[in-house]
C-alpha cells in the first residue's frame, strides 16, 4: 500500500492532519513528521525516518506545508532508498484525498499523487 | 596539490574557524534575522557548525571529500529550518566534486556546484535578497580569478570574499522574495539579509585558514582587475 507522510512546521498540525486523514483512509500507513526537535520547524532526518516508517515497498507520497518543509522533504527523499514523491498540493486537503485513494486496492504512487494534487482545485465558496 | 594529511588538516581547521566565528556572531546574526525572519539563524548555524567541527576534528581516516560530506550531513542533522538543507544539503551534494582531492580546479567546481545546489533547492534568483546575492558574485569572481586571470587560489579567494561583502551590501535595499522575509513585503527593505551575511562570514574564515596553508596575496583590491573599472575612460571625458 502507498504510504503517506505529513510534514508541517508544527508537530500538532502534522498530527492533527494525520488524525483527520485516518478518518478518511483508516488503513493507509500515515506518518506525521512535524516540528524540529520539539520546536517549530522541519527536519530532513525526521522526515526521512517517517518515510522509512510509512514505506512498505510500494512508495510514499509526502504532503508538505511551506518553505523549509519543501526543501527538507526534497533532501530526505534524495537520501532515502524509498520511492517517495512530494505532492504539489494543499497539505490538509491533499492528505485527505491521498488517504482515500491509498486505500483503493488498485492505487499506485502516481494515482495517489494525482488525487492529492487534485485538491488544489477545492474552492471554499 | 597539498598531500592528503595537509588537506585534511586545512578542512578541519576551516570547520573549527567557521564554528568559532558563527558562535561569536550568534547574536549579530540573530538580530538581523529577528528583523525579517524567525530569529534563529545565528543559534542554528552556530550549533550546526560546532557539531560539524567536532565531527571532523578527530577523523584522521577520511578523504577530503568524505570530510566535507561529513560536514554537510552533520549540518543537515543539527541545523533546523531552511538553513539545514541550504547549507548542509548543498555542501553534501557539492562534496562529490572533491573526489580527486582539493585543488584550485576542484575548488572552483565545488564553488559552482554549491551555488547551483543552493539555487535549485531554494529557488532563489539573484536579487531576491538571499544568500544567493552574496554567493553569486563570490563564485563568479573566484572562477574568473582562477580560470581566466590565473591568479593563485588564495588571491582568488580574497577577491571572492570581497565580492561576497558587496553582495551582502546589495541585499540591504532589496525587497525579499524568498523565505519568511518575503511575507513582510516592503517592510523587508532596508534590512541586511542574514543568510548572505553568514555566507560572507564563512568565506572570511575560509580565507583566514587558506592564508595559513597557501601562498598568495590576501590584501587585494577586489575591483581590479577581476571586477571591471566602474568609471571607464569614455565616461570621464564626456
Percent residues over pLDDT 70 in chain A:
100
3 state SS of B177: coil
User: A68 vs B81: CB contact, 8 Å cut-off?
Assistant: yes
Cell of B159: 577577491
pLDDT of residue B1: 62
* Nearest-angstrom CA–CA distance, B238 and B234: 6
- Which residues partner with B79 through β-bridges? none
Ranges of each domain in chain B: 4-225
Q: Taking CB atoms and an 8 Å limit, are B121 and A71 in contact across chains?
A: yes
CA distance B237 to B228: 18
Q: What does the pLDDT look like over A63-98, one tens digit per residue?
A: 999 989 999 999 999 999 999 999 999 999 999 999
Q: Yes or no: say if A85 and A59 are a contact pair by the CB < 8 Å rule.
A: yes
Which residues on chain B are in Cβ contact (under 8 Å) with A78? 89
Note which residues in 34-93 of chain A have CB less than 8 A from chain B. 36-37, 39-45, 67-68, 71-72, 74-75, 78
Burial of B229 (0-12, 13-18, 19+ CB in 10 A): exposed
- H/E stretch holding B172: none
DSSP letter string, B186-224: GGGTT---HHHHHHHHHHHHHHHHHHHH--S-SS--TTT
Q: Which residue has the higher pLDDT, B80 or B198?
A: B198
Distance of residue A35 Cα from the nearest chain B Cα, in angstroms? 9
DSSP β-bridge partners for residue A30: A4
Residue numbers in A near B74 (CB within 8 A):
none
Q: How far is B32 from chain A (nearest CA, A)?
A: 19
Percent of chain B whose predicted confidence (pLDDT) is above 70: 92
Average the pLDDT over B30-39 and give the result.
88
Determine how many CB atoms are found less than 10 A away from the CB of residue B183: 13
CB contact under 8 A, B80 and A36: yes
Give the CATH fold of the A3-121 domain.
Answer: Rossmann fold (3.40.50)
Contact B84, A43 (CB under 8 A): yes
Which of chain B's residues have a Cβ under 8 Å away from the Cβ of A42? Answer: 80-81
The residue of chain B nearest to residue A41, with distances taken between CA atoms, is B81
pLDDT of residue B220: 64
The grid coordinates of residue B170 equal 546589495
Q: What is the pLDDT of residue B58?
A: 82
Q: Where are the domains of chain A?
A: 3-121
Give per-residue pLDDT as tens, A11-53: 999 999 999 999 987 788 999 999 998 889 999 999 999 999 9
pTM over 0.90: no
For A33, the 3-state DSSP assignment is: strand
Phi-psi category of residue A35: left, alpha or beta, with phi > 0 → left and psi -120 to 50 → alpha = left
Please state the φ and ψ torsions of residue B213, each to the nearest 5 degrees.
-115, -15
pLDDT tens-digit readout, B102-160:
999 999 999 999 999 999 999 999 999 999 999 999 999 999 999 999 999 999 999 99
- Residues in chain A closer than 8 A to B180 (CB atoms): 67
Choosing from A1, A4, A9, A96, which is the catalytic residue? A9
Q: Domain B4-225: give its CATH code.
A: 1.25.40.340
Give the pLDDT of residue A24. Answer: 86
Is A110 catalytic? The answer is no
Cβ atoms B71, B16 nearer than 8 A: no
Q: Which residue of A has its CA nearest to B78?
A: A43
CA distance to B60, B112, B210, B214, per residue, from B2 (Å): 16, 22, 12, 9
- Find out whether the peptide bond into B225 is cis, omega within 30 degrees of 0: yes
Cβ-defined contact of B84 to A37 (cutoff 8 Å): no
**Alpha-carbon separation of residue B171 from B63, B68, B197, B216 (angstroms):** 36, 28, 9, 30
Q: Report the Cα–Cα distance between both ends of chain A, in Å, rounded.
A: 34
Amino acid at each position: 500500500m502507498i504510504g503517506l507522510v505529513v510534514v508541517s512546521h508544527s508537530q500538532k498540525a502534522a498530527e492533527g492532519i494525520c488524525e483527520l486523514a485516518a478518518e478518511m483512509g483508516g488503513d493507509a500507513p500515515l506518518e506525521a513528521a512535524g516540528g524540529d526537535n520539539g520546536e517549530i520547524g522541519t527536519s530532513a532526518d525526521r522526515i526521512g525516518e517517517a518515510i522509512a516508517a510509512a514505506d512498505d515497498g510500494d512508495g510514499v507520497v509526502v504532503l508538505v506545508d511551506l518553505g523549509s518543509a519543501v526543501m527538507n522533504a526534497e533532501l530526505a527523499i534524495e537520501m532515502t532508498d524509498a520511492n517517495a514523491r512530494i505532492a504539489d498540493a494543499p497539505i490538509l486537503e491533499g492528505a485527505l484525498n491521498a488517504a482515500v485513494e491509498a486505500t483503493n486496492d488498485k492505487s499506485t504512487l502516481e494515482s495517489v499523487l494525482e488525487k492529492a494534487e487534485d485538491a488544489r482545485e477545492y474552492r471554499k465558496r | 596539490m597539498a598531500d592528503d594529511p595537509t588537506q585534511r588538516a586545512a578542512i578541519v581547521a576551516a570547520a573549527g574557524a567557521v564554528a568559532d566565528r558563527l558562535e561569536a556572531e550568534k547574536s549579530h546574526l540573530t538580530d538581523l534575522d529577528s528583523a525579517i525572519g524567525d530569529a534563529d539563524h545565528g543559534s542554528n548555524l552556530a550549533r550546526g557548525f560546532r557539531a560539524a567541527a567536532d565531527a571532523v576534528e578527530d577523523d584522521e581516516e577520511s578523504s577530503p571529500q568524505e570530510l566535507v560530506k561529513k560536514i554537510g550531513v552533520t549540518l543537515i542533522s543539527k541545523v533546523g529550518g531552511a538553513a539545514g538543507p541550504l547549507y548542509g544539503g548543498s555542501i553534501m551534494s557539492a562534496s562529490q566534486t572533491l573526489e580527486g582531492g582539493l585543488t584550485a580546479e576542484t575548488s572552483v567546481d565545488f564553488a559552482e556546484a554549491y551555488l547551483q545546489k543552493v539555487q535549485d533547492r531554494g529557488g532563489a534568483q539573484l536579487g531576491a535578497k538571499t544568500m544567493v546575492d552574496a554567493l553569486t558574485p563570490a563564485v563568479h569572481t573566484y572562477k574568473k580569478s582562477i580560470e581566466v586571470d590565473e591568479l593563485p587560489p588564495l588571491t582568488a579567494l580574497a577577491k571572492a570574499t570581497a565580492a561576497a561583502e558587496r553582495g551582502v551590501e546589495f541585499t540591504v535595499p532589496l525587497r525579499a522574495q524568498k523565505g519568511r522575509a518575503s511575507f513582510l513585503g516592503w517592510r523587508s527593505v532596508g534590512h541586511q539579509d542574514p543568510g548572505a551575511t553568514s555566507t560572507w562570514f564563512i568565506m572570511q574564515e575560509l580565507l583566514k585558514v587558506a592564508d595559513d596553508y597557501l601562498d598568495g596575496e590576501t590584501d587585494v583590491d577586489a575591483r581590479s582587475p577581476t571586477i571591471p573599472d566602474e568609471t571607464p575612460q569614455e565616461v570621464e571625458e564626456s
